[in-house]
Amino acid sequence: MRFPFTARNLLIAAVIALLVLLPVYTALSGNAFFLTLFTRILILALAATSLNLIMGYGGMVSFGHAVYLGIGGYGIGILAFEGISSGFLQWPLAILVSALFALVIGALSLRTRGVYFIMITLALAQMVYYAGVSLSRYGADDGLTINRRSQFSGLIDLSNRTVFYYLCLALLLGTVYLVWRLINSRFGLVIRGAKSNERRMRSIGFPTYRYRLVCFVVAGAICGLAGALLANFTNFISPAMMHWTRSGDLIVMVVLGGMGSVFGPTVGAVALLVLEETLPFLIGKLGFPLFGESAARAAEYWQIVLGPMLLAIALFARGGIVGLLTRTGRD
């Protein structure tokens, strides 16, 4: 595998370098704001990467993918609440339960296609959301505070910000590599073939349903891991983690960064969350000399600026940011 100096590869290298060096900046400046922001970005990038596996490569547009963030998070939160704080127990369980939910949701939804698939994944995810709302023992609507982060017998100290950040980064990069291996394996070619032309896949002898289902479960498990990280990061779980708007955010990250590119979702997550943080600030600052006080009020409506940007990407850059930088016709 060679990595020529294309604009796309340079962007990816720059993003990785930024992510790796960020804690150094924090240590030097003493300002932890960016470390916190980027920890969150890494976790959501991990979730978006798992969505990209089924959406970008498998053509399965799940509008309920955040449900596994919630299930992974609740796995951690409930166990912590019940007094089990060992990460060696919490994390595998969170991932396993996410995978089981994905198995059930996938088994039902993968019998449908197109809009129906989107609607069924959305509906099932909302059912789980309302189940979370009704869990009165675990805070119902208000959620649940986690008093103690997962314990790894002193091997990894999650309460150390920098350690936590690098753990998230390592898991993200490891997952991106895993997805890259996966999509070029036999399994991956079946998934991609089924996206391209499922009828033909069946006619050459592939029982496509079971491959798509396994892919759906793998994505759910990875997103469950992201949920476990998120719960530990915020020290808090609530049904809002798996609200359908969160699923929408994940789709936006994937589309913005570039569907069907292994690093696309990471780029998309960085772009979306950095824009969310900086747009209100920029509108206020840049607008002030022109419009005075009203610019500050306009800053509250920063989504008016973000919306058209996403629209432009969706209309004119099918491959997202990463796709823009890849010359067409090359793989």
Partner 1 sequence: MTEPLLKIQGLCKRFGGVVATDDITLDIPEGELHAVIGPNGAGKTTLVSQLAGELTPDAGRILLGGTDVTSMPVWRRSLLGTARSFQITSLFPEFTARDNVALAAQAHAGHSFHFWKDARRETALRDTAHAALSRVGMGDRADVRVSRLSHGEHRQIEIAMALATRPRLLLLDEPMAGLGSSEAAGMLALLRALKRQYTIVLIEHDMEAVFALADRISVLVYGRVIATGAPEAIRANTQVREAYLGENSVAGAGDA
Tell me the DSSP string of 123-171: HHHHHHHHHHHT-GGGTGGG-EE-SSPPB-TTSS-TTSHHHHHHHHHHH
- Residues 31 and 244: their CA atoms lie apart, in Å, by 33
Residue list 206-245, contact with partner 1 (CB under 8 A): 206-208, 211, 214
Sole binder of partner 1 in the list 32, 189, 295, 298 (CB under 8 A): 189
Q: Contact letters (x/-) for partner 1, 143-182, by CB under 8 A?
A: --------------------------------------xx
Sole binder of partner 1 in the list 72, 132, 188, 265 (CB under 8 A): 188
Site for partner 1 contains 196 (CB under 8 A): yes
Site for partner 1 contains 205 (CB under 8 A): yes
Site for partner 1 contains 111 (CB under 8 A): no
The least distance separating partner 1 from the CB of residue 95, rounded to whole angstroms, comes to 16
Site for partner 1 contains 318 (CB under 8 A): no
The least distance separating partner 1 from the CB of residue 242, rounded to whole angstroms, comes to 27
Asked whether the beta carbons of 229 and 87 are under 8 A apart, the reply is no
Sole binder of partner 1 in the list 31, 160, 184, 278 (CB under 8 A): 184
Distance of CA 290 to the CA centre of its chain: 38
Pick left, alpha or beta for residue 145 (phi over 0 → left; psi -120 to 50 → alpha; otherwise beta).
Answer: beta
Tell me the DSSP string of 295-322: HHHHGGGTHHHHHHHHHHHHHH-TTHHH
Q: What are the structure tokens assigned to 14, written together?
A: 């720059």
Site for partner 1 contains 2 (CB under 8 A): no
Find the part of the chain contacting partner 1 (CB under 8 A) among 44-52, 150-158, 185-193, 289-297: 185-193
Site for partner 1 contains 113 (CB under 8 A): no
Site for partner 1 contains 197 (CB under 8 A): yes
Asked whether the beta carbons of 321 and 263 are under 8 A apart, the reply is no
Site for partner 1 contains 204 (CB under 8 A): yes
Enclosing H/E stretch for 237: strand 236-237
The count of chain residues that interact with partner 1, using the rule CB under 8 A, is: 25
User: Of the two residues 11 and 182, which places its CB atom closer to partner 1 in the complex?
Assistant: 182
Q: What is the DSSP secondary structure assignment for residue 327, as one 8-state letter?
A: P
The least distance separating partner 1 from the CB of residue 24, rounded to whole angstroms, comes to 34
- Residues 78 and 80: their CA atoms lie apart, in Å, by 5
Return the number of other C-beta atoms located less than 10 Å from residue 289's C-beta. Answer: 8
Asked whether the beta carbons of 70 and 132 are under 8 A apart, the reply is yes
The least distance separating partner 1 from the CB of residue 102, rounded to whole angstroms, comes to 16
The least distance separating partner 1 from the CB of residue 186, rounded to whole angstroms, comes to 4
The least distance separating partner 1 from the CB of residue 294, rounded to whole angstroms, comes to 49
The least distance separating partner 1 from the CB of residue 138, rounded to whole angstroms, comes to 35
Sole binder of partner 1 in the list 202, 281, 304, 312 (CB under 8 A): 202
Asked whether the beta carbons of 72 and 227 are under 8 A apart, the reply is yes
Enclosing H/E stretch for 236: strand 236-237
Sole binder of partner 1 in the list 136, 199, 290, 292 (CB under 8 A): 199
The least distance separating partner 1 from the CB of residue 329, rounded to whole angstroms, comes to 8
Please compute Rg for the chain using Cα positions. Answer: 20
Q: Which residues bind partner 1 (CB under 8 A)?
A: 181-182, 184-190, 192-193, 196-197, 199-208, 211, 214
